[in-house]
Structure 1
Amino acid sequence: MNRKLRIGVIVAAVAVALGVGLWLVSHGGEPDADAGASSALTVEVVGLEKRAWPQTLEASGSITAWQEVIVSPETGGLRVADLLVDVGATVQRGQLLARLADDSVRMELRKQEAALAQARVALEQATSNLKRAKAVGDSGALSEQQLEEYRINEATARASLSSAQADVDSTRLKLKQTRLVAPDDGFVSSKSAVLGNVVNAGSELFRLVRKSRVEWRPELDARQLGMVHTGQSANVVLPGGKQVPGKVREVGPTLSEKTGRAIVYVSLPTDSAARSGMFASGTIALGTKSAMTLPQSAIVSRDGRSYVFAVDAQGKVGSRAVDTGRRQGDRVEILTPIEAKTRIVASGGAFLSEDSQVTVTGQRQAGTAP
């Protein structure tokens, strides 16, 4: 029985194998390739989206004071008696910054005031003499020559009084100039005054940033300059990474003969972190321009180029090299023309190869996060 059973099993196996072989022959001799194909990845697809994006111009330049004010004494030969502000202090117009020693000036003023009093008395006397001479002259007791002398004495006394008054006014002005005040609102950017130092007229003691205003001054070439206009908004990135908004105040009217570039003056808020002397980069908004965009996740970088993977009707992918432009958030501008109906793999393209079979689960809506 065992021997017969073994023979039966062998015969059955041969029959099954023969049947499978006949079936393969009847179907072309090999299994269906599609039946054995497997999906490499399950993906979402996305289409290009048109967006209106702001067009910007990148530039860099220094941050400087809008205007600087130099505070210096108008009179010299006096000692610095008091310093009332230091670097960084915010001052208002007319605020006292420093005081020069005024003892010698006050003494000179008293002397000039005494001379003025003497001149005033001399004029009164000359006027009185001329009045009496005229009264006597009418009776013929004085000659015309004597009357003329009285007139000359009165005129001389009047001129001496004017001269004495001018000396007093000059000394009072000199006394006033011993008080150095802020010519305008702002903050003190530098101080060279030293307590006790004898200063010369015109020597710099303080430097102020007028109105506490600083501005960004990027340099642009002739082509870029034609796109910039007064009133355009700007965004300045400070060395620490902080961003400061600004507005174009003025566009330089001429280009440098050495560099071929012109300066653009961008006003910054007075309460910003920008400081004079910084070097910053930034952008100037030029208006809006439409852009065909894809999410950043759809872009694959290989060998220094950017690619996207398009899915055809059979579910196979093919790579396409694209040129990219502006970026905003997670969106990238695609400069290479692509048909609007093209289905692009939304993410995971780095794991795909040419002609890979994928399973599409759906199309991602514009603005939806991966």
Structure 2
Amino acid sequence: MPLPTPRIFLLGSAALLCFVLAGCGKDEDEARKGTAPATPALTVTTARPATASLPLKLGANGNVAAWQEAVIGSESGGLRLLEVRVNVGDIVRKGDVLAVFSADTVNADVEQARAAVQEAQANAAEAAANAKRGQDLKSSGAVSEQQATQWATAARTAQARVAAAKATLTQQQLRLKYTRVIAPDGGVISARSATVGAVVGVGTELFRLIRQGRLEWRAELPASDIGRVKPGTRVRVKGANGSEVVGKVRTVAPTVDPQTRTTLVYVDLPPSLSSNAPLKAGMFAGGEFELGASNALTVPQQAIAVRDGFSYVFRLNPDSRVSQVKIDTGRRLGERIEVVKGLAPEAQIVVTGAGFLNDGDLVRQVADPARNAPAAPAAPAKVAAR
């Protein structure tokens, strides 16, 4: 059998060498690909939940109303209104004159009643003298017993007429007094229906007065929350312009509305006579009852990611990967938010960059620069001159 030529042998060896080298290169690439470390998706800072004391508050809505609104009416009938001295919004004190009625006819009636008193007094004096004279003559037998009794009766009747005349005079003097409408208490005029020149009857409303300028907030609370509110509880009521007024619970209504199943809570607001007061009668306002404080598990607001209407945090695992954890949030204190449910107190959660992560991402943890910032160097001390 003839031996192969050297050319054919060389070609076979070269092909075998290329196959071996290709196989070795492939194995090396596969090995390099399997052992190469994964790249972190994000550099983050972490923190653990902290326990903080958070205030307990109970929100409610309601109407602002006058503590007491006095209705000031006319006590004299058939008189013409001569002068109106106040208007809506004016601040008055107790005893101030609000309006004046014409007193011409009342003055005439007073003079007539005074004259009637004088006449009755004169008749009473004459009757008393006759009665005394009758008693003297009766002892001497000059007049009969019947005549003396008649004179004594006439004297007593005359005294009664004097008392009646004085009562009429007092009545007319009261009518004269009522021609001046007086403020029964200090406060703010909230309504005015008095018109100059009008002839009004007895009891006609002329003004409305918010007594002492005091207002109250009538908060509506569900029946289930009545037991949480006590008299004296502090309340923050927010006005329409955003300003807050601090008040106190005066009382809780003893009944529940059968239609709405709510109860009114009466909150005393500080008196304010200024026209620029943040709360006015008739406003609808919201407020919060301060019920104390309680300890709660909190996390930084930056650590919470809101997705599809739910709140999540990302827990850092020992393998440097994160797990998305659904939580229920509650109260807020500054930049920290209460976690009601879903998070363990010892969990380590992502703070910076939480909004850019997904479940299972690999992250690189670094120290928080805000926490580990070096202290500012102390200023060099000045050497005293010698």
After TM superposition, the score normalised by the length of structure 1 is: 0.90
**Aligned with residue 348 of structure 1, among 348, 353, 369:** 353
| 308, 314, 335: which one aligns with 2:340 | 335
1:165–1:150 Cα change, 3 Å:
same
**What is the aligned partner in structure 1 of residue 226 from structure 2?**
225
Extract unaligned runs of 5+ from structure 1.
1-10
One-letter amino acid of the structure 2 residue matched with residue 159 of structure 1: A
CA distance in 2, matches of 1:365, 1:337: 27
1:63 aligned residue:
64
Report how far residue 307 of structure 1 moved. Answer: 0.6
Match of 2:297 among 292, 301, 308: 292
Q: Are 2:240 and 2:279, in contact at CA under 8 Å, matched by a contact in 1?
A: no
Unaligned runs of 5+ in 2: 1-13, 374-386
Bigger shift: residues 285-294 or 60-69: 285-294
- CA–CA separation in structure 1 for the residues paired with 2:60 and 2:218: 9
- The 3 A distance-change label for structure 1 pair 33 and 230 is farther
2:328 to 323, 326, 334: 323
Structure 1, residues 172-221: CA drift from partner, whole Å, max 9, x if none?
11111111111111111111111111111111100011110111111112
Report the Cα offset of residue 94 of structure 1: 1.1
The alignment status of 1:278 with 2:283, answered yes or no, reads yes
Deviation at 1:23, TM superposition (A): 7.8
Maintained 8 Å contact 1:232/1:286: yes
Give the aligned partner of residue 247 of structure 2.
246
Q: Give 2:10's aligned residue.
A: none
1:330: how far off?
A: 1.8
Question: 1:350 is aligned with what amino acid?
Answer: G
Query: Which residue of 349, 358, 364 corresponds with 1:359?
Result: 364
Q: SS where residue 32 of structure 2 aligns?
A: coil
Do the aligned partners of 1:70 and 1:204 also contact (CA within 8 Å) in 2?
yes
| CA distance in 2 between partners of 1:292 and 1:68 (Å) | 48
Q: How does 1:84-95 map to 2 (within 5 A)?
A: 84-95=85-96
Q: How many residue pairs align between the two structures?
A: 352
Asked if structure 2 preserves the Cα contact closer than 8 Å seen for 1:346 and 1:364, the reply is no
2:352 maps to a residue whose letter is S
Matched, 1:304 2:309: yes
Alpha-carbon shift at residue 257 of structure 1 (Å): 2.3
Question: What displacement does 1:349 show?
Answer: 1.4
Residues 357/76 of structure 1: CA separation in 2 closer, same or farther (3 Å cut): same
The alignment status of 1:149 with 2:166, answered yes or no, reads no
TM-superposed deviation, 1:298: 0.7
Query: Which residue is 1:109 aligned to?
Result: 110
SS at match of 1:138: helix
Q: In 1, distance between residues paired with 2:34 and 2:241?
A: 60
Aligned residue runs from structure 1 range 8-23, under 5 A: 18=21, 22=24
Which segment drifts farther, 64-73 or 38-47? 38-47
Query: What's the TM-score, normalizing by structure 2?
Result: 0.86
1:37 aligns to what?
Answer: 38
CA 1:33–1:334: 2 relative to 1, 3 Å? farther
How far apart, CA to CA, are the structure 1 residues paired with 2:120 and 2:106?
21
Asked whether the equivalents of residues 217 and 269 of structure 2 are also in contact (C-alpha less than 8 Å), the reply is yes
Deviation at 1:229, TM superposition (A): 0.6
User: In 1, Cα distance between the equivalents of 2:328 and 2:31?
Assistant: 44
In structure 1, what residue type is equivalent to 2:305?
Answer: V
In the TM superposition, what is the alpha-carbon distance from 1:138 to its structure 2 partner?
1.5
Residue identity matched to 1:338: L
- Contact 1:58/1:282 (<8 A) preserved: yes
d(CA) in 2 for partners of 1:115 and 1:269?
54
Task: Give the drift of 1:326.
Answer: 1.5
Q: Contact 2:297–2:345 (CA<8 Å) still a contact in 1? A: no
Counterpart CA distance in 2 for 1:168 and 1:104 is 14
* CA deviations over 1:75-99 (Å, ceiling 9, x no partner): 2111111111110111111111111
AA at the equivalent of 1:330: E
Q: Would the aligned equivalents of 2:327 and 2:343 in 1 still touch at CA under 8 Å?
A: no
Distance 1:288 1:70, change over 3 A: same
CA distance in 2, matches of 1:32, 1:309: 29
Q: How far apart, in 2, do the equivalents of 1:151 and 1:365 lie?
A: 109
Letter of the structure 1 residue corresponding to residue 192 of structure 2: K
Shift of 1:157: 0.7
Q: Give matches, 1:184-203, under 5 Å.
A: 184-203=185-204
Amino acid at match of 1:107: A
